Amino acid sequence: MGISGFRTMLFFSHRGNFNQHQIASYQIYCHGELLHQVQMAKLYQDDKQFVDMPLASAPEQVLQRFKELANAHNHSIPQQQLQGFLKEHFQATGQELQPWTPEDWKDSPRFLQKISDLKLRAWAGQLHQLWKKLGKKVKPEVLRHPERFSLIYSQHPFIVPGGRFLEFYYWDSYWVMEGLLLSEMPETVKGMLQNFLDLVQVYGHVPNGARVYYLQRSQPPLLTLMMDRYVTHTNDVAFLRDNIGTLALELDFWTENRNISVSLGEKSYVLNRYYVPYGGPRPESYSKDAELADTLPEGDRETLWAELKAGAESGWDFSSRWLVGGPKPNLLSSIRTSKFVPVDLNAFLCQAEKLMSKFYTSLGNDSQATKYRNLWEQRLAALKAILWDEEKGAWFDYDLENGKKNQEFYPSNLAPLWAGCFSDPGVVDKALKYLEDSKILTYQYGIPTSLQKTGQQWDFPNAWAPLQDLVIRGLAKSPSPRTQEVAFQLAQNWIRTNFDVYSQKSAMYEKYDISNGGQPGGGGEYEVQEGFGWTNGVVLMLLDLYGDRLSSGTQTAFLEPHCLAAALLLGLLLSFLPQ
């Protein structure tokens, strides 16, 4: 069996389903000569465009026609003939989806009235309108002929990020759902949750996104948190009871397939990492991955591709965070994602274990509640022993090969605050000092993703909405008015950046460049995208949290340490004024 056939076996082995149609489809969308020839011909500006194109006929027929064409040209098909082949056998992207206006969308959700600044209130109303633009529904033919599409069929409609992202994504959807709940759209959230639960039932995990070429990897595990937010909003305990076993199955995927043992002294701790043990270029970025591999010796290429997939699984594709400690830490070819124990992943799992214990307690299953409480306590101890740095006042990714923490700044270093995964309340204020010491509070347009400028999109000067949320709501947990005031000021900075860019461009973006005033972000593998699901969700959350204080005008705040006292005093004085 060649490596191509071996990859097919690997891909389908966990599913126990060797449907010949699906295998043929996989040989078009996921690996093989057809994929290689089309992507390396660079017929499209974005490799993702090809793998999102539906087939015009059965995959076996398309493969047979391609084989005949390849043989006729000694496997070096001229571009014109290749274009003709694609025109005959593939359809344009987006054919499998139809626009969808959520049935529970309504004018003027209540939270808008909490926003005092009239410009911000009007803006929030426009963001609320965007849910209708981002709503999608899968056409019935995808259910009838799934082998003709890279899109995985979803029974319920959903909200997409926007731009090139025509399908839904795993971790993006958490922040989208938070926004939808504020927009009083719980039925849309329930449908999206059910789609994720269905994926776990079929594949044993939530894929990176709803495409067959994403099935080898997942994304940061927030499904349990999504369920918690939905149940808290609706009190739909019956839905939780029906699906608690599926939530447990998803966590099993991480604890069984992504676990790693770390020894410290005589003690050993089990934590988790991003790890995708499959080679081959990512289909949606095929030519870039293939060309990057050409810079390495042939024996190192499969490892590179596996590490790139692990980087994509992290959601941070790509970042200096996964390059540190490698031979050339500024080059993507040095990526070593699976060699780190990431703070955020373990914080998310810690939070999920605590929520599972709460869920099982509410459902009257004490033995399962105890199991997850013990897992939570074990992870809490592991986070403190392996990732926490008392002197610096933050958690840091642990480098498994070099046996030390990566002490570079990333907002994810404070993810345990956001996840409530700490036992000492004093760590929140220590985290504030860490932000001061790292000079992060001097950035007036948002919190940077790192302080390294590599040209990767999850590095300086980009700032991303979910990472603002990790820090802002993490700091807001502090009982200290000073730390709470900094959380507010960071929220004010981010809101103003988003509002100013929207005022100029009438669009929301997936990321922002904070180096020279707020601008749409850049870098990475594709142009910055408009939409944008999680950016909208985070803005709505911050407007809900601080709507009585946030302002659309005046200059964003530098938060130098000596300014904090003044900011705090001003905040306290304002609180005494009549509302």
Reduced to 3 states (helix: H, G, I; strand: E, B; else coil), residue 261 is strand
Please confirm, yes or no, whether 317 is among the known catalytic residues.
Answer: yes
d(CA 154, CA 165): 16
Determine contact, residues 419/351, Cβ cutoff 8 Å: yes
Nearest to 459 by CA among 416, 493, 411: 411
Please confirm, yes or no, whether 510 is among the known catalytic residues.
Answer: yes
List the end-to-end C-alpha distance of the chain, in Å, as a whole number: 73
What would the 3-class secondary structure string for 287-328 be?
HHHHHHHCCCCHHHHHHHHHHHHHHHHCCCCCCHHHCCCCCC
Compute how many other C-beta atoms are within 10 angstroms of the C-beta atom of residue 88.
11
d(CA 417, CA 83): 52
Nearest to 85 by CA among 112, 52, 50: 50
What is the number of alpha carbons within 13 Å of residue 359 lying toward its C-beta?
31
Determine contact, residues 539/465, Cβ cutoff 8 Å: yes
**Which amino acid, residue 192?**
M
**Residue 26 backbone phi and psi in degrees, to 5:** -60, -35
d(CA 358, CA 126): 36
Determine contact, residues 447/467, Cβ cutoff 8 Å: yes
Catalytic, out of 317, 344, 459, 469: 317
Catalytic, out of 284, 510, 513, 544: 510
Residues forming the active site: 317, 510
